[in-house]
Structure 1
């Protein structure tokens, strides 16, 4: 694979302009440039690992403390594979620290200190369990391994917003006013607000990709005849294939998830109960 052809044009987030102006006006342009360089190295880790697994990368967006790599594979690959793509970004900081130790004697002390502090700051910031940071993505993957996909996604956003509000409160109460820190937290809260508004569409996208997912583990899930089809599909977990068992009196029916997905996306079935769908099936 030609790596250069596989990487789409890199876009700069509009918020980056704000930090560029702030760095210029405060005389901190060197620190800004160093942080931007480290962010690009960080994002390169995600990209290379994604390309290794042959992910289709749609867009790379860079902002001051991180970046966002949009792919067509989100939610459709194994959790372990997606975790490796996420971890590949923070791992770049370990390599940067190793380089600073090996070649630190050749770097002027003030600049070496700037590199070290920026690298540590970006690493710690990205590991916060707040969506869409790497820590938030790892939190989402952990929840997805033990909870249904839709519930894991919802809990991730709720926990991210809660922690974001805690960070904002701590900043306002215990630390001196820093516009940069407050803007970062507000930016994360806005990202989670957008993710919350799009959570239903994210779930439908997940359901559409289910047929092509390579999943070996099968589990049986019991549901009632009076439950609506969407509620039943909301019990699907990323790392399992589901066989749903519906029991009414002495009659028990087993239905593979693929049949329910087909019924959901067919016209006139998405708002019906499973009892109605099974009755029509029989």
Structure 2
């Protein structure tokens, strides 16, 4: 692990395994090129995130990209998340175009030029698949948070990523089941299994991720009020549980909780901070919201 500019950079064990394999098979130069491509790809994410003032703790490099651990998960605007996610594949665009140009000008051999631009195309396009933690998965999550509640976006992101990564595993073994017997696509199988396990773990951690979102909600609410934004009301009955109301929160909105009596009169209007702080203070999510002010 190397720490640079306050960010810990490390190699995922999967990348280390591929490095060892490349040394044994004599493809070390190709591996170094792949490493450089992945590093620049991830550097694009880091520069964009730093530009928005994000705090990045660690970047773990994988053969097809990287995973960045940010400090304030869920509190950043969805627009920023989308831009940061796109910043990686955009690096592959200019690197691929540069490699192709080098070949056309005769500065690189045709074979090497083709290898580099194809590697960039493969990494860039693969990362745009709508599977977490790939860039396409993050774009999907950013879009979901603009359309659905934050809790729904976590759940649907995990479900879709599980289905697609499972499909990747199936596709990798289908050739071995056919009459021609072409064999298992080992690279696709390894990546598919990695994504499947990662998203299984992610799905199990959804409650923790939602809790982190709520914990950082106070900072996001302060920023919203400082800018002066329209509040999005959430209208509920006094018998609604705190947990049910929290799951109605949207990422890019500031909420006022309007609590209604059965006959239709307004019992109370709570700012979202009061609801979140009431939950975080004792963790009693199943109690009725009316208990917060009674």
Give your verdict on TM over 0.5: yes
Q: Contact 1:11–1:60 at 8 Å: present in 2 too?
A: yes
For residue 140 of structure 1, what is the aligned residue in structure 2?
Answer: 141
Alignment partner, residue 27 of structure 1: 26
Name which of structure 1's ranges 262-271 and 141-150 shifts more when overlaid on structure 2: 262-271
What does residue 258 of structure 1 align with? 273
What does 1:27-46 correspond to in 2, within 5 Å?
A: 27-46=26-45
Residue 127 (1) aligns with residue 112 (2):
no
Please list, as runs of the form range in 1=range in 2, the aligned pairs for 1:1-150 lying within 5 A after superposition.
6-104=5-103, 105-150=106-151
Conservation of the 8 A alpha-carbon contact between 2:154 and 2:206: yes
- Deviation per CA, 1:83-103: give whole Å up to 9, x if none: 111111111011112312432
1:175-190 correspondence runs (5 A): 176-190=183-197
- The answer to which of 150-159 and 102-111 deviates more is 102-111
Partner of residue 178, structure 2: none
Aligned residues: 276
Structure 1 unaligned regions, length at least 5? none
For 1:68 and 1:137, locate their aligned partners in 2 and report how far apart those are by CA, in whole Å: 11
Distance 2:191 2:283 in 1: 45
TM-score by length of 2: 0.88
Query: Are 1:217 and 1:239, in contact at CA under 8 Å, matched by a contact in 2?
Result: no
Report the Cα distance in structure 2 between the residues aligned to 1:190 and 1:14, rounded to whole angstroms.
Answer: 14
In the alignment, the residues of structure 2 paired with residue 73 and residue 255 of structure 1 have an alpha-carbon distance, to the nearest angstrom, of: 25
| Counterparts of 1:248 and 1:9, CA distance in 2 | 52
User: What SS does the corresponding residue of 1:137 show, helix, strand or coil?
Assistant: helix
Distance, in Å, in 2 between the alignment partners of 1:263 and 1:269 is 8
Deviation for aligned residue 1:269? 4.1
Cα distance in 2, alignment partners of residues 108 and 15 from structure 1? 30
Give the CA deviation at 1:31.
2.7
Shift in CA distance, 243/9, structure 1 to aligned 2, threshold 3 Å: closer
Cα shift at 1:60: 1.0
Q: In 2, Cα distance between the equivalents of 1:54 and 1:6?
A: 14
2:203 is aligned with 1:196: yes
Contact 1:127 1:134 in 2 (8 A): yes
Secondary structure, aligned partner of 2:66: strand
CA distance in 2, matches of 1:121, 1:241: 40
**Range that drifts further, 37-46 or 16-25:** 16-25
**Which residue number corresponds to residue 171 of structure 2?**
170
Structure 2 gaps, min length 5: 176-181
More deviation in 38-47 or 240-249? 240-249
1:123 to partner: Cα distance: 0.9
Match of 2:179 in 1: none
Q: What is the match of residue 272 of structure 1?
A: 287
Is this contact kept in 2: 1:229–1:271, CA < 8 A?
yes
In 1, Cα distance between the equivalents of 2:79 and 2:95? 25
> Alignment partner for residue 239 of structure 1, among 252, 256, 259?
252
- Kindly tell me: are residues 5 and 32 of structure 1, through their superposed partners in 2, closer, same or farther at Cα, counting changes over 3 Å? closer
